[in-house]
Structure 1
């Protein structure tokens, strides 16, 4: 009799425990902000205490550490920061300096991106080329430096830019394709690149600007050793020609606001999801409030690309009561847990004109549409 009693009591406790677990699971699904799920709710730490433009973060699995690179922090070179949690960042030493034997750049060291390949770390960056017989004001090219670890020192590979397409270029981004091919994406500078369009006609009629210069995004195959390009660059993205184009309003704000006579398409970042290639890019003046991010999609790495009707997916929030503007030149990071982050710079009315780093979650909807949950600010 006693044995049967204890068996029945044990069964009762088992049923109660199972019911409790099921109820808690249902609560977590229906209320993701319940106590057990609070750790999964993102709390913004923006802006980070990192004064970088054009930020790029790489996760190094060997050291289980995140390393951030960007424009600024040191003259004629690049600094790095490191973090274990993406919130607290430690300023590290200078990782690249133009004061080296193979340096080809003289100033304006911009937009570094670092990739690990075959045990080495490769930094792609933009700078003003010292080979400048015509004394061009914007003689920008892209170079590659290599190091044995994420903190350098990075040494230039060849002593000259990666290639010279015959016009100034910036903002290198590299894509590693599944078939083993490599692709380089970059932006042709606005400098001496006046383009006729309905926006240019409008600016002349308004007596605002006599011409409108534009930057365009190109792609080209990259050699396996990062030492050269293969074939001719392909034009992938440019500002709209027609004012009826649904992208024209947001991509032309630097012009229509009277800020400057240039329209940018720059800061590209390519990734693939399922069978679709996504190219994120920035438009408008990087030093102004209208800098914003959009994206385009294609079925191959070199396009043709079609811009999303959802653009822009990241922009200033000052017109809706926020304090963030100048949001742009983004990259993406997949953290150690697999979450995707949009890494970009912006400004706030509290911090002034200095560009600071922001991290906000990137969502990819079932219909393939991208969404950046930002800009957010730490409460």
Structure 2
């Protein structure tokens, strides 16, 4: 789940602000204005540019925002723009967890607003995006979209539903026009069942899916996002619809192995160097959750000495935090 944090800071200084009532801490937070405060981040490399988006914690009312740069380490205000404005498609607030992709010259966007997933399009990844004033799944709350197109061209929407207060990751066939799902195909893929997943709350969320050597990997986060133990694990399957087998040594990204609180809800991208990276967020500090900071590390596979699927690993000693010159 998410929280809201709003502030304005001058360029290049440290500001002291008070956390919102939704934060788990009530003390003042010292914020370095050079950090990028994108929770639930996503990044992709296209036409020589890196594009970074996510849940923009300074203010989730504006819409969906993108930062762009010629490298993944530093961004400037010139590459900071709102590409989906409030009112241009479904939603009025709580713009969270976007995913972008392009096909046939059209830029596409899945995102969460008002705790519902929606779809918008543009002629350019730089926007402006627009869409119909309705969500993909209207009759119940759903968040954290991730679209996976399988080898046969079928599109699957991985997303999170929580009808009973437990966040579970669901998978459903997405309609050809991305306007809805085949409800008969909608089923649970991942539930919080392991000890590391239930340290605080019963939450599995933030899905990202990729395929490697014929095996599907579903990367996900677990625990309440406010927990220092919010962490990342993965599961594998030989079918996009499961069943999914959780990796026995989860979590692979956590406070225990990184030193950072609240590591989670990220996405996979390939850089200009053809290396795979995982972009994710951390807590603002050990004592304050928000505004959450964007972080990146290299991701790779190792051969499983016991046989079975290759092991997905994070380069823990290579974590860095991309910077930006100004936020607003």
> Highest relative contact order (Cα 8 Å, sep 6+), 1 or 2?
2
Answering whether residue 170 of structure 2 is matched by residue 170 of structure 1, we say no
The structure-2 alpha-carbon separation of the partners of 1:266 and 1:68, relative to structure 1 and needing over 3 Å to count, comes to: same
Residues 48 and 87 in structure 1, CA contact (< 8 A), matched pair in contact too: no
Q: How do residues 1-379 of structure 1 correspond to structure 2 at under 5 angstroms?
A: 49-61=35-47, 64-72=48-56, 73-76=58-61, 77-91=63-77, 92-100=80-88, 103-128=89-114, 140-156=115-131, 158-164=132-138, 166-189=139-162, 193=164, 213-230=165-182, 231-240=184-193, 248-254=194-200, 262-317=201-256, 323-347=259-283, 349=285, 352-353=288-289, 354-367=291-304, 368-374=310-316, 376=318
Change (3 A) 1:355 1:232: same
1:137-160, Cα deviation, whole Å (9 max, x unpaired): xxx21100111112211112x220
1:377, 1:362 → 2: CA distance? 10
Structure 2 unaligned regions, length at least 5:
1-32, 305-309, 322-328
Q: Extract structure 1 runs of 4+ deviating beyond 3 A.
A: 348-353, 375-379
Q: Which has the larger radius of gyration?
A: 1
3-state DSSP class of the match of 2:196?
helix
CA contact (8 A) 1:314 1:372 kept: yes
What's the counterpart of residue 12 of structure 2? none
Pick the structure with more helix per residue: 1
- Work out the CA distance in 2 between the residues paired with 1:295 and 1:183: 18
- Judge conservation of contact 1:215–1:265 (CA < 8 Å) in 2: yes
Conservation of the 8 A alpha-carbon contact between 2:168 and 2:188: yes
CA deviation after TM superposition for structure 1 residue 55, in Å: 0.3
Q: How high is the TM-score relative to the length of structure 2?
A: 0.79
Deviation at 1:287, TM superposition (A): 2.2
Unpaired stretches in structure 1, ≥5 consecutive residues: 1-46, 129-139, 194-212, 241-247, 255-261
Q: Tell me the SS of whatever aligns to 2:261.
A: strand
User: Considering only aligned residues, what root-mean-square deviation do their CA atoms show, in Å?
Assistant: 2.2
Contact 1:343 1:357 in 2 (8 A): yes
